[in-house]
Structure 1
Amino acid sequence: MARNKKTRKKIDPVLDKSGRKSDLRADAKDRVGRSGKSGRGKRGAKASSGARRSGALRRFLAVAARRSLYWGFVIGLWGAIGLAGLMAYYAAKMPSATTWAVPERPPNVKILSTDGGTLANRGATGGEALTLASMSPYIPQAVIAIEDRRFYSHFGVDPIGLARAMVSNLMAGGMVQGGSTLTQQLAKNLFLSPERTIERKAQEVMLAFWLEQKFTKDQILEMYLNRVYFGSGAYGVEAASRRYFKKSARDVNLAQAALLAGLLKAPSRLSPARDPDAAEARAQLVLEAMREEDFVTDREITTAMTQAPTRARSYWSGSENYAADLVMERLEDILDGKIEQDLIVDTTIDHRLQRHGEAVIQEAIAREGEKRNVTQGALVSIDGAGAIRALIGGFDYTVSQFNRASTARRQPGSAFKPFVYVAAMEMGRTPETVRNDTPVRIGKWTPSNYDDEYRGPVTLSEALTKSLNTIAAQLVMEAGPRHVVKTAHRMGIESRLEANASIALGTSEVTLTELTAAYAPFMNGGYKATPHIIRRVRTASGKVLFENTYDNPPRVLRPQIVGMMNSMLMRVVSEGTGRRAALGRRDAAGKTGTTQSFRDALFIGYTANLTTGVWFGNDDGTPTKKVTGGTMPAEAWRGFMTAAHEGVAMARLPVGYSVSGADSVATPATRPEDNIPSPAISTEQTGSTNRRLPPASVGGGNASGGGQTTLLEILLGQ
């Protein structure tokens, strides 16, 4: 029996009128999520969409990264090719590398005092070159820490440092950090101009490569530190150290080394002579950099940071610079202006005496300058051979570098009278010769005494003691103005003198140095003392180029004249116008000088050891407030000579002479130019009894005498 089965019909998909199959997806109204009964469908859709977007972003970034790397590589390659081509182009414009050579450092002149200490350095650099081992170790450490930390690891150019500098500058929106290495900076300083161009930078890089191949790292660093500019006219660490700290670069401490290294960023702006606060702030950054590099410990940093900021003068300071300037003037004459290598000049300057001289001039003006209308002073002290032991050219070298001791010409006033009296003594006069102090008329000139009083008959000794003008005028006319001029020139005056009657009162201008030197024959027994400051010139290797020859000076005064003049000039100090210069029991002699309207005041005096001249006045010639040679100058002279003779044994001046009898007036026929032996006379010819050489123990240093040698060697201890 057949079962009745239900027939199943095949259902085909129904096409719409366009022929497409019907969409089997649920309508929007059939979706549960739409009804609000469930959010599962909505979240799923969102997740799916987010995943698709995230995936697309990742694919985009991956593609972008690959393309960036590719194009970066391509651009970098072409950039390298272009840079290489640019370098090759500029290299082709440069001379062959085989001809490159480091230029010689400008020569330096090291000027030494008698004790071997450095008075000053002169030259384009202002300081000698030091080896890396001889300078303070803090200096190279500080410079490397702040300027080029990878100095010992890079090959002349530091790509890491350059990249860091570029980033820092981009972030700051300006130039705040440089990317040049020390080697590049040295190349620029040695070979290139300071202009900022692509060509110069390319040349700098090539030269840096060459320096790294040619020299060791230490040699490069040494050259850099000896040539780089540290501001205020100082090139090299030695010049900078002496400029700012008045000490050698061998001796600078950590704080000072940090200050020097900090100057390299902007030497002129950061100089402690211009802005000490800015210099100190920069030094603090250097110290931090040194700590980061483990060059110094925290304790050292703390100590350095507690030190007072450096305050430097705006110019090279110290009176020794007056002496150094004079050395350079004389050196040009000695070497015909050709200074082609480093030189060492041994001078006659005693550093201790120089400091004493500077102190007395500055103290006198500080104490009385304002109330006495005195703004300037000068001092020069020489020994019996003419060696300048101290030279103070003005109140403050920082303010004025004009040398009033060796360059300025002033009227000496009555300080010129000893030459008049010498001429008279050579004509037969003696200290006991009598003349009448009364008004005198010589042509239209009528000289009067300082106090406008007249004393009648006086001896020449009394006249000089009281500085009577009328007597000096009479003696000039008796001896003759020309003979007085010849006498002064013979004794050491070099300036042109007018041979007229008024020369009796010192109306012709002279320098303080030549006037002082012309007094020296009184103290050394009658021998000319040619003033000189250079003892020896030698190269850095020790080769002697020059040595002075003032060891056999000519006799310019007879011993009898020396004795008579000393007896009178000692009386000037003991009871006359120069009383304030008295040195107690020590023999001292000298003469005051005051010019018209009190414009200049001088005292030139001497002991058996030193002859010293002091001047006070004003550069513009304005009158002082009645300052005479017996006031400020005599007091300053006594202060200096007291300090100079500390610990020095007493030595007597030659004063013995014999009086022939009553005054006898010489006639023109008996008026020789002089009765002095030939300038070539030897020590043996003159005899030791007539040659009273000054002891050479004043001032210390190399000035201790001894032995049967030349005069200069006795005086300078050679």
Structure 2
Amino acid sequence: MARSAPTASGGRLKQILKYALAAALLGLVALIVAVGVAIASLPDYDELAQRDDLGQMIRVRAADGSLLVSMGPTFGRWLPYEQIPRTMRTAMIAVEDRRFRLHPGVDPIGIARGIKVSLQRDDKVRGVSTITQQLARNIFLTNDRSFGRKVKEAILALALERKFSKDQILELYLNRVYFGGGAYGIDAASRTFFGHGAETLSLGEAAIIAGLVKAPSNYSPTADVEAARARANVVLKLMVDNGFVASSAVAGIDPATIRLQPAPKQNSVRYFTDWALPQLDTLIDETSEPIDVWTTLDPGMQSAANRAVNANAPRGAQGALVAIDRDGAVRAMIGGRDYVSSIYNRATQAERQPGSAFKLFVYLTALENGMKPTDTVVDEPVTIDGWRPRNSTRSNLGPVSLREAFSRSINTISAKIGEQFGFGTIADMARRFGIGSNISTYPSMVLGSSEVRLIDMTRAFASVANRGVSVMPYAIRRVVTANGRLLYSHERSDERVLVAPWVAAGMTDLLQSAVLSGTGRAAQIGRPVAGKTGTTSSNKDGWFIGFSSGLTTGVWMGRDDARPVGGLQGGTAPARAFHDFMRVAVARRPVEKFETEVPMPDWQLEPDEQMWDQPYDANLVGGPLVDENGMPIGPQPADPLAPGSLPPSGDPARGPDQTELDRIFNSPPPPQQQQPQPRSEPADPLQPRSDPAQL
């Protein structure tokens, strides 16, 4: 009986071992089955190499190719294993998984050591993930810390090791892992942090990148430069300790001296990119591929515009600026003094009263109906349906030339022009030039009482600078995928003649006079400038819009709550901002003289040509040239400007003989005739009785 207890105890132990062995065998079989199933369900290598599941990357570039802003995840080139620098491969293995070449996907030694360290530190038990496990988690799983996720991670890691080689796994890992700063993959990280591709990474740079994986949000150079450099020293030490690199190779490396790429400025340029990027919806088909959007923005002009607005905008006031090149390319855009504090784009979204800047359309109407800059008009008190406009000087000058009336921004003359030719006619002119907001036809509209957008007004002035031919602002030049496939390339839109060349030339004459001797003298930059000021009642808004050397720039200043700004006039802060910006913007452009005297053909028409003896009307040629919003529309079948529409007769060197088109576009109107006055509308109760536009 004395020997029976040990025998019974030994039997129970054997029974336990038997059950344990059976359970282990069952677990092993289950693991083998699970791994087998996982292997069968794994995508092939080419599918895993795609990064579409990480979201779409959009890189917005300036006209010179420099990066303006990167949105979404950032991807660089996919580097094959052979092109990845050895220092980068060994740095990653040293810091993340030093037995990477030895384990089957899960590292039992590493797990055991991790458990031991956790217990010694009286911390919760944690496993250690291998590079293969991290890859499995990044591609297929989430980052939750549950036991079930760790089991799935281990099974997938074992499956990955069975299906792919170690080199393939490391290639996948280095091209997909997140390194912070929005960068996925070592090439994106290298370009983001150092400004060059990963093929040329130095040992110190590789150490910085390898150190980011543990905590990208903490160690990323975009988050904490010093932390990133300190972590790099840890990586270099591990590389030496694990025999991946000689200590002599590390001795001369100081991560603190490694030059980091400064992050692109995302302040004022965001006004431009916020306006430009929504246009992609109409330019390209929807795609999840990474794309590069090449824009028209000039970084030098953008910086100059930002300085000009912030240096000149009155205290407590906002400022906006937009610059449009002769082909419609938007070269600079400022939507406010600081994007971080306010993303509201006052250049493209805000609608404000333009004051006397609106007189552009008043005088275009006068010129198109036969008046000339040299014509004499009388500055005298005017009353229209009870409305009595006053000049800023509170006086009248009597007989003056049309040029002087415009230069001095005489309000009574604008009112008389509106009464003579019709306020609806002036509103139509504004719509013809692209003003899309609602234009009032009450008498005070001639002084800029209707609200407009800065970009629309700037576009209108640009069309005058373009000899009366429409200009359509655009921001995107081309769109390409990461591998260079072209998705979109800008093509110049159909140009439309909005007014005859001699009308545009006369308007340019008036605009130049306003800068030379009128209210816009502060905008002079030492070369020909044409432009117009605008100031609304109580100094709530100040405008200056002008052009020189092919570049048209509009400036607006005022408060968002439309409260008065002391001393704000179009000829002060806005004109000075225009001056400061344009001196930089056109400095390298050739000086261009304005064409202000376009010759008019013979006034004497034959009797059978009297049908053309009428003011120029763009809508007479092939139907309307603009839609109801003033936007250009496509060519009409009867459009004489369409290719092939002109007869082949005439001198080949000169072109076709005199045609009906010539008579419309090149013949001046007949001597001014008294036109029937439109029926006056009642005074607008919403408009102030006092002058809403001073200058």
SS of 2:254's equivalent in the other structure is helix
Which one of 557, 569, 574 corresponds to residue 633 of structure 1?
574
Secondary structure, aligned partner of 1:306: helix
Q: Which amino acid aligns with 2:319?
A: G
| Aligned partner letter, 2:123 | G
Q: Aligned equivalents of 1:301 and 1:444: distance in 2?
A: 89
Correspondent of 1:362 among 307, 316, 334:
307
Structure 1: distance between partners of 2:146 and 2:174: 25
The whole-number CA distance in structure 1 between the counterparts of 2:43 and 2:163 is 13
The match for 1:648 among 589, 599, 604 is 589
Residues 121 and 128, structure 1, Cα contact 8 Å, conserved in 2: no
Match of 1:430 in 2: 372
In structure 1, give the amino acid aligned to 2:379. Answer: D
SS in 1 for 2:462: helix
SS at 1:649 equivalent:
coil
Q: What is aligned with 2:470? A: 528
Q: Do the aligned residues in 1 keep the contact of 2:35 with 2:156 (CA within 8 Å)?
A: no
Residues 555-575 of structure 1: per-residue CA shift (max 9 Å, x gap): 112110111011111112222
CA distance in 2, matches of 1:559, 1:685: 20
Q: What CA deviation, in whole Å up to 9, does each residue of 1:518-565 have, x standing for no partner? A: 211222222111111122334444443333332541111211011101
Distance in structure 1 (CA, Å) of the matches to 2:454 and 2:163: 55
CA–CA distance in structure 1, aligned partners of residues 552 and 155 of structure 2: 62
Residue in 2 that maps onto 1:503: 445
CA gap 1:438/1:172 in 2 versus in 1, 3 angstroms: farther
CA offsets 1:419-441 (integer angstroms, 9 cap, x no match): 22112211222212333334444
Out of 602, 619, 632, the residue aligned to residue 543 of structure 2 is 602
In structure 2, the residue matched to 1:45 is: none
By how many angstroms is 1:610 displaced? 1.3
TM-score between both structures, scaled by the size of structure 1 = 0.72
Task: State the shift of 1:73 in Å.
Answer: 9.3
Among 356, 361, 365, the residue aligned to 1:419: 361
2:315 is matched with: 372
In 2, Cα distance between the equivalents of 1:301 and 1:443?
89
Match of 2:681 in 1: none
Over the aligned positions, Cα root-mean-square deviation in angstroms equals: 4.2
Q: 1:470 aligned to 2:412?
A: yes
Report the more deviating stretch, 682-691 or 427-436. Answer: 682-691
Offset of residue 587 of structure 1: 1.8
Q: Is 1:611 matched with 2:611?
A: no
Query: What TM-score, normalized to structure 2?
Result: 0.74
Deviation digits for residues 323-365 of structure 1 (CA, Å, limit 9, x no counterpart):
33333200012236x223233333223xxx3333224423552
Matched, 1:266 2:215: yes
- Note the C-alpha offset of 1:179: 1.4
- Return 181-190 or 540-549, whichever deviates more: 540-549
Residue deviations 1:670-700 (CA, integer Å, cap 9, x gap)? 6775467555425898989999xxxxxxxxx
Decide which moves more: 649-658 or 173-182.
173-182
Aligned pair partner of 1:131 in 69, 74, 79: 79
Residue pair 2:320, 2:347 contacting (<8 A) in 1 also: yes
Residue 576 of structure 1 aligns with which residue?
518
Deviates more, 1:488-497 or 1:69-78: 69-78
SS in 2 for 1:647: coil
State the one-letter code of the partner of 2:278: E
Q: Is the 8 A contact 1:138 1:253 kept in 2?
A: yes
**In structure 2, the residue corresponding to 1:570 is in which secondary structure?**
helix
Q: Please say if 1:347 is aligned against 2:295.
A: yes
Q: Distance in 2 between matches of 1:404 and 1:136?
A: 49
C-alpha distance in 2 between matches for 1:115 and 1:317 = 17
- The one-letter code sitting in structure 1 at the alignment partner of 2:306 is I
One of 60, 73, 96 as aligned partner of 1:111: 60
Q: Is the contact made by 2:236 and 2:250 (CA closer than 8 Å) also made in structure 1?
A: no
* Seq. identity, %: 37
CA shift at 1:603, angstroms? 1.9
Cα distance in 2 for residues equivalent to 1:382 and 1:135: 44
SS in 2 for 1:605: strand
Distance between the aligned counterparts of 1:436 and 1:564, measured in 2?
19
Contact 1:410 1:510 in 2 (8 A): yes
For residues 125 and 231 of structure 2, what CA distance do their matches in structure 1 show? 14
CA distance in 2, matches of 1:447, 1:74: 108
Distance 1:283 1:359 in 2: 38
Q: How far, CA to CA, are the matches of 2:655 and 2:248 in structure 1?
A: 69
The code of the aligned residue for 1:553 comes to: E
Q: Kindly report which structure 2 residues correspond to 1:187-586, keeping only aligned pairs within 5 A, or say none.
A: 187-217=136-166, 219-231=168-180, 235-236=184-185, 258-271=207-220, 275=224, 277-292=226-241, 294=244, 304-307=254-257, 317-335=266-284, 338-349=286-297, 353-362=298-307, 364-365=309-310, 367-368=311-312, 372-374=315-317, 376-443=318-385, 445-584=387-526, 586=527
Return the index of the structure with the highest Cα Rg. 1
CA contact 1:125–1:227 (8 Å) conserved in 2: no
CA distance in 1, matches of 2:225, 2:138: 26
Contact kept? 2:390, 2:412, Cα under 8 Å: yes
Q: Matches of 1:72 and 1:631 in 2, distance apart?
A: 95
Q: Which residue of 2 aligns with 1:12?
A: none
| Conserved 8 A contact 2:511-2:532 | yes
CA offsets 1:376-432 (integer angstroms, 9 cap, x no match): 433222222212223333334444444333333333332222122112211222212
Q: Which amino acid aligns with 1:306?
A: A
C-alpha change, 1:676 and 1:280, in structure 2 (3 Å) is: farther
Pairing 1:159–2:111 present: no
Query: What is the identity, as a one-letter code, of the residue corresponding to 1:304?
Result: D
Q: Is this contact kept in 2: 1:273–1:311, CA < 8 A? A: no
| One-letter amino acid of the counterpart of residue 607, structure 1 | S
C-alpha spacing 1:76/1:120, structure 2 compared with 1 (3 Å): farther
Does the Cα contact within 8 Å between 1:145 and 1:289 map onto a contact in 2?
Answer: yes
Structure 2 Cα separation of the partners of residues 76 and 631 of structure 1: 91
For the Cα contact (< 8 Å) 2:308–2:578, is it kept in 1?
Answer: no
Alignment partner of 1:457: what SS?
A: strand
How many angstroms apart in 1 are the aligned matches of 2:203 and 2:411?
A: 64
Unaligned runs of 5+ in 1: 1-68, 662-668, 692-718
Q: Distance in 2 between matches of 1:465 and 1:138?
A: 70
Shift of 1:266: 2.9
**Aligned pairs for 1:19-168 within 5 A:** 80-81=24-25, 84=28, 87=31, 97=41, 102=48, 104-105=51-52, 106-122=55-71, 124-131=72-79, 142-168=91-117
Structure 1 equivalent of residue 672 of structure 2: none
Q: Give the number of equivalent residue pairs.
A: 607
Alpha-carbon distance, 1:491 to partner: 1.8
Structure 2 CA distance, aligned partners of 1:78 and 1:452?
A: 107
Greater relative contact order (CA < 8 Å, ≥ 6 in sequence):
2
2:684 is matched with which residue?
none
Q: 2:685: which partner in 1?
A: none
Conserved? CA contact 2:268–2:306, under 8 Å = no
Deviation at 1:220, TM superposition (A): 4.0
Amino acid in structure 2 at the alignment position of 1:307: T
Q: Name the CA distance, whole Å, in 1 between partners of 2:125 and 2:409.
A: 72
Q: Structure 1: how far apart are the matches of 2:247 and 2:295?
A: 43
| 1:693-708 pair list within 5 angstroms | none
Q: 1:517 to 1:189 in 2, by over 3 A?
A: same
**Paired residue secondary structure (1:515):** helix
Question: Take 2:385 and 2:83, find their aligned partners in 1: how far apart are those partners?
Answer: 71
Of 167, 172, 187, 2:121 maps to 172
**Cα distance in 2 between the residues matched to 1:83 and 1:150:** 25
Give the Cα–Cα distance (whole angstroms) in 2 for the partners of residues 378 and 136 of structure 1.
Answer: 48
State the alpha-carbon separation in 1 of the partners of residues 204 and 299 from structure 2.
30
Letter paired with 1:97: S
